[in-house]
Structure 1
Amino acid sequence: MKKILKESIDTSNFKKLRRMYLFALLTIAVTVLLSQLLIQHNLTSQLSDSRLINFSGRQRMLSQKLTKEILILNFITNPEQKKVQIDRINEIISFWKFNHYALENGNDSLGFPKIKSPTIKTLFANINPNFNQIITATTLFLKNNTNTNNPKENQKLIAIVLANESIFLSKMNQIVSQYDQEALEKVTLQSKTEYAILAFTLLVLLLEFFFIFKPTDKKIETLITKLLYSEKKALKLAYDTEIISEIKENSVKELKSLNYAMENTLLYSRIAPNGSIIHIGEKFSKLLNYNSFISVKTFAQALTPIEKEQVIIDTIIAEKQRSGWQGELNITSRNGQSLWLDLSMVPVTIKKDESELLIICFDITERKNAKQEVERLNNENITDKINQQKIISSKIVENQENEQNRIAREIHDGIGQMLTGLKFSLESINLDDKEKASQKIEYLKKLSLDIIKGVRTATFNLMPPELSDHGINSALAKLTLELSKLTGKNILFYNKTNFDKRLDSLTEINIYRLTQEAINNAIKYAESTHIIVQLSHSSNLLSIIIDDNGKGFDMIAAEKKRNSESGMGLLFMKERMEYINGRVFINSIIDEGTRITFNIPI
């Protein structure tokens, strides 16, 4: 309750500050607006004052010009020139009279005010008699010059114009001076007004500082303190909610999984427990040729028009609406097409007494058709596979026989002959002839070393001790070194990732034999001079790459010639790699070389 009351007080204080801010801003705005209006009014009036002074000064000039033109007319005797001069004087009189009446009575087109100060009115009242006498005398003078020329009369009229013209100039000077004085008073008044507005504005700003900005500063300081305190509480609350977040994490994962499943489901529908349709997805509708205008009431009727199939679907919904169901259904669509659906029915509780069933389907028609096609192809190709296995088996037996014959020849031709020679040499030693006996003993020592080397070579080819003792890394290093010495080829081995783990014996012996076969093929068939064996590994894969610079071969042609030696060699190599769950990749370019890659899971 106290917290709510405190919040209400804070809200009231902020509303009060907001009202004061609005009042202060409105006051400043009104002050600025009024000052601008007053300044613009004064500037406008000053513009009219300058124009009044200008026109008043022009009246003096026009009176002098009028007097001058009258005097000139008095001495002109040529009728044509006299007529032109009379027209000029009439024009000057007309302009002079227009300006005088505009100054005295005001004029909207010229911007002259109609309201005058009492002094100006008095001055115009004083000047009007002289103005009128000049106009009257000038009019009579022009009339005399137009009709009959009476010199005496003209002289009197000129004397009247000259006498009143000097008085008119003097009084017009007073009018100009009065206009100038009134303009100066207006400028002085405007300056005082602007200073008053400035003082008022500064006063408003000072009051805002004491009654608005200063209290607001305190409020903000208090608010920042509260925010810092709230931040500490929020950090503590965040730490406390980590445990709750961990508890909710599993629920969030489940929701994410559900959302992902829904987003990636192509065929889905929502139905009521009685089988009536709540909603069918757009793609499911297209598959079933169903739309909302079809008079279908149940999900079974939407799936198939066949009554027997509808009964099966209704039975599944009735029996499994609480526990859910998953299985495959074979239905007939509206266009008579046979469809296979992998259907999952999941019960979903909306409210306490309200539930629905979520139907998620996958169209497995193509998979079913493909499975049947695969079975048909398997039945057709089973004979070829059996024949192929027979060829592979015979090839394995043949290779074993060739290997046994090769070992037998090595033992008979090499080790056997050397042992026979050893036997005869031992029998022919004559101990009495020490010098010859010593020479034969030296020869027997050399022969014994050759026999030991031959035995080691034969046993190395059968099962290298490096493989069983130290593993595939040491065995391949030893293999490349020995073959390089025996063949004179440049055969190099690199362990790029320092692999030193042991594999099971079956995997190691197959890797060894396949590498040995690849190197022998590169030497025997590709006529290679440089062979590089690279071993590398990752967390779950061992890779062996054999590169040679041989003459290469046409891979497509070799694949087609399954019964040839090269074709069977590639097939045998792939079969042996599959035996240890590995894969072999062969890339060969004619006249450039061959790369063979073995990938074995570890």
Structure 2
Amino acid sequence: MTKEVKALSDKLNFKKLKQMYLFALVTIAVTVLLSQLLIQHNINSQINDSRLINISGKQRMLSQKLAKEVLILNSFSKDSDINEQISNIKNTLELWKFTHLALEKGNDTLNFPKEKSPALLGLYKNIKSNVDLIDSATTKYLNNKNNPDAQLENTQEVQTILDNVAVFITKMHRIVGQYEQEALDKVTRQRNIEYGILSFTLFVLFLEFLFIFKPTNKKIELLISKLLISERRAIKLARDTEAISIIKENSVKELKSLNFAMENTLLYCRISPQGKIIHMGEKFAKLLQYNPSFDVDKSFSKAITTVEKEQLAIDQIIADKQRGGWQGELNTTDRNGDTLWLDMSMIPVRIRKDESELLVICFNITIRKNAELEVERLNRENIVERINQQKIISSKIVENQENEQNRIAREIHDGIGQMLTGLKFSLESINLEDKEKSAQKIEYLKKLSLDIIKGVRTATFNLMPPELSDHGIVPSITKLTLELTKLTGKNIQFYNKSEFDQRLDSLIEINIYRLTQEAINNAIKYADSSHIIVQLSHSNKILSITVDDNGKGFDLATVEKKRNSESGMGLLFMKERVRYINGRVFINSIPGEGTRITFNIPI
């Protein structure tokens, strides 16, 4: 090593460089750790805020439930049900009061904070009068319910409850909005802090590049340049010594070893700029079934292929690319008439000042190309099959929509329409002079009106259950199983195993509802089952619904092959619908034992 190189190497203080690297890495690690701690703190805060907002929203539902139960008790209850309804109202009132007090004053059990912002304190102070009025009016109403002389006072108490519930819902909506705004402010502050940490990290990385990587790179490049210069000087000085002979001898041995390896492992050939073979490797010659001893012409293109058109193409490539080189894939025909694919590279090599040649290196890619062509053929077949399948799905969707519209029309015409016609004729036949018959007809009309209301509710429930939009997926599935149990006589049970009570996106909820409805209907219609169990459970990321029946089961492979059958299309529609909301469906069925269908939907 020369003195210049040694001096330059001394300038590269690796101890200082290591210290600078360590400082930069520690700084980045600290910023990442702080960022993660802040994120975890913010996640815990958001969880508490979410529960707080959820419970606040449920307060509005509880107040509506309280008002509905009071109205039902006041208007339609039988004497035998009064005590049970009064007990339900008391339970609802106690839960409503407890939750509101926990929200207003804080609760350690529910993790509700005792400290609140001035805005929330003002809103809770503003709503307190309505809470007290609802509480007192409900209590008075329940105490006087069995007193016949307090009918007028009870009516006034019911009106007080209704008036204050409406105001309570409006004010509670403002409280929920304030909780959401404060939660949003927390998230915004966290995001700004994260941006600050990210900016600081990027600044550290920039300083590391500016003061460590860039100067070190320049110094190393200069050192390598000096080393290369010294190497060339050393080689020049060693040419006149005996050591050069030993180097040459070793180089010859290495070249022989390399040549042997190339002959037996690589498909290579040396050709002249005119396309004549100078030397061809043994493995390449064996692949082409080419013997240079029997070829006077020694044309590279003729050695590659026996087809004249392909030979002309190869000669043209050699003529055009002999200076700049060429790389590409060649489709040729060997001496047996089989297709041969070669990944070929032509590299120009200068031997002397006025003499050059081309080094050709090839790879046999015939198997890979044949596999690619087979994959392309299978893909084309798969695309055609999917297009045909999509056409079948589209036609079945249109057919099902038309059948559903006809069913709804029949229900309205045959059921509700005829009852309305009967109501019209009964009203016209009332003779007010005959009070006894008029009273009987009025009682009949009341019953008929209730039947009409029930028919309208049934029709609207089949189209879109109100529980789904008002309360979410759990109440709507509960209502679905109860209604289908009444209509079909089947024993249909629903279990919310993990006490799921969240609201999801409306599109996800309606698809979950329709999937569950379709699975239950299939168990009723096709499985001939007497017991159906619907179970719902969830984790942090997955909502799972399982529908089990004790029906006759089926062979899944056989049904899936029958794409045009009603059952086959039903399973296909079910899979398409669950795929639409990024979910998965698992179907397990054993003939004679029953069927289990499980839907897993990300939440």
TM-score (normalizing by structure 1):
0.42
TM-score (normalizing by structure 2):
0.42
Whichever of the two has the greater Rg, that structure is: 1
